[in-house]
Structure 1
């Protein structure tokens, strides 16, 4: 999505470009603007500005059929341009932003005795995301029995893929059991097979009931084996909890006896 600076730059650039083109057209028509100096580009330019914005100061006005014809076209273009700019502006303001923070790394550590792939997400919005769902997909390069190389997609089952409302943080977990596509994989094998883990989160904005979505990509080098995430949920005296964002991506290694 285009940044606000680029968006306003495009609007301003289009505004000046249209007025410059019409100014040249007015100058090409000769002495067609009353009270304007004949052949003056700047008089024609400012007349174009007044015409497009329908300001109508009254000092300058068209006096030839050619000038009247240009004014008719410019007013129509001005109305359409204002309508389009207003629609684009409204769409940018009304479009909800996900503002989902994913941990920069994922970890593999035991959970209930089973090696588990984990990463976490945090909702940085001021209100909840309802009906939140997460899908995690493994992409890796494979060679068929005929020797053809192809990119395969594998859905990773999650301990919890749905949340009725997503308010603070979400620890996403995939048990690496014998049925898991990650079973038997190592860091070296994932790198050799050019593997990637794609995360997609969708939900509904609580305020506007509009769909929000966010995505993230983990490379094999982003997965820390035999690590766990540090706790970032801190209780307040009032009983509420908040997230310690400076430690959101932090992990700590586990001793071998934990495996």
Structure 2
């Protein structure tokens, strides 16, 4: 664009071939990039005005490009992995909804906060259809230093929206769990966030997660992430006798 503007006035660029677009184009590049080899230079008031405008545009473009690149590449990414399924099993003799979260980064996530919302279809007292959201209370909703793994647990008691529900009920209501995790990346001190959803078919009753915490011969403990997503059935469940979950799916 600026090269065409220079060509509007013949002879505005010294040492440039008359009417040659490429000379004007390369002079424009040297001006915008503040290179200035000294071979070509403006020699009219018109050309000097264009140089001033193009220099300002070039500086503005560099500043904006630098800011956008810095904001893009300096933003931390939350390398958080969620278990593929959630399970419902007894914990302290109370049926409990559980799923796993792991931090795949080698640093820590400080002041990690997790929130679980149950979303399902309902009919209100007036017979109107609505998509309703319930915040699920958790055994622990925050973690001051999230380093490796975190098992999130929601007790299914009489105050839980899962109370008395079956898998058929959850599927009929198109139930979904929406999980959001936020925290501060310790390396760059910036907020990070991650999100995951579980549909009804991804909530397994009468299953528990496989153990991932092991101990070496020297007594040192370690976590084996190869078993992170593994679940296994549980033969007996106290929640069946307690009547919290009315029947197995």
**Shorter-chain TM-score tier:** 0.7 to 0.9
- What is the CA distance between 1:233 and its match in structure 2? 2.9
Cα pair 2:90 2:237 within 8 Å, conserved: no
C-alpha spacing 1:33/1:132, structure 2 compared with 1 (3 Å) = same
**In the alignment, structure 1 residue 102 sits paired with structure 2 residue 102:** no
Structure 2 Cα separation of the partners of residues 153 and 257 of structure 1: 28
**In the alignment, structure 1 residue 93 sits paired with structure 2 residue 73:** yes
TM-score in terms of structure 1 length: 0.84
Cα pair 2:120 2:176 within 8 Å, conserved: yes
Instruction: Count matched residues.
Output: 239
Q: Which residue of 2 aligns with 1:129?
A: 109
SS in 2 for 1:84: helix
Q: Which residue of 2 aligns with 1:6?
A: none
For structure 1, the 5+ residue unaligned runs are: 1-20
| Post-superposition CA distance 1:177-219 (Å, at most 9, x none) | 1110111222222222122111111122223332222111111
Structure 2 Cα separation of the partners of residues 99 and 126 of structure 1: 10
Q: Which residue of 2 aligns with 1:167?
A: 147
- What is the CA distance between 1:126 and its match in structure 2? 1.5
Runs of 4+ residues deviating >6 angstroms:
none
- What is the CA distance between 1:237 and its match in structure 2? 6.0
For structure 2, the 5+ residue unaligned runs are: 241-249
Structure 2 Cα separation of the partners of residues 239 and 93 of structure 1: 41
Relative contact order: is structure 1 or structure 2 higher (C-alpha 8 Å, sep ≥ 6)? 2
Structure 1 Cα separation of the partners of residues 226 and 7 of structure 2: 61
Structure 2 Cα separation of the partners of residues 39 and 103 of structure 1: 67
* Cα RMSD, aligned residues only: 2.0
- Which structure has the bigger radius of gyration? 2
TM-score in terms of structure 2 length: 0.87
